[in-house]
Amino acid sequence: MAVSLQKGQKISLSKEAGGDLTQVKLGLGWDVFQGQQEKKGGFLGKLFGGGSGGDSIDLDASCIMFDSNKQAVDAIWFSQLKSKDGSIVHTGDNRTGDGDGDDEVINVDLSKVPANVVSLVFTVNSFTGQTFETVENAFCRLVNASNNAEVARYNLSAQGGHTAMIMAKIYRHNNEWKMHAIGEIASGRTFHDLMPAITPHA
């Protein structure tokens, strides 16, 4: 049974998964409403508005790797789908968002994350600049990739005039990996724009 997280809550991944957890998927999802037409959100990171031409919204998920000095070591996003060390892989930019299920997935091999990396911060932003006023039912969830069991889910209200959200982070603490539900709003078209807001959470 997945843990339902509240904003600010922190959990131990190994305890919640019932043992060592090395291969994980980080999911970000939401529903997008265009007028009266609803498009149903997927498991991770990317949903675009429905069938009225220019009304689409391009949402992107990113992961930024930080060291102990809160310095960015690497970033995984639609222009770089794999970390330089190979431990994190983005499945790619999906511009349709059609149907239910996974729209974008960020896979993380925790056993291969370099020792100098202490936190992974996950964000989502509107590349096309539309605000989250058309976004509802936002969530973030962590899945054990070995058996596809959901370990933790974080539901949050994302509607508003912002264009990005800092969703969650996975971080090292006392030789184990933990997850922190962040859920802070921000503004920016890519993670580069968000760095001043992301860094304090690293």
Helix (H) or strand (E) run with residue 38 in it: strand 37-39
Q: What is the mean pLDDT of residues 26-53?
A: 52
DSSP 133: G
Q: What is the mean pLDDT of residues 171-197?
A: 91
Least confident of 76-90, 116-130, 152-166: 152-166
CA distances from 120 to 37, 53, 141, 147, 159 (A): 35, 35, 14, 22, 24
pTM: 0.84
Q: Where does 86-197 show beta strands of DSSP type E?
A: 88-90, 106-109, 117-126, 135-144, 149-156, 164-173, 176-186
**Per-chain mean pLDDT for the chain:** 81
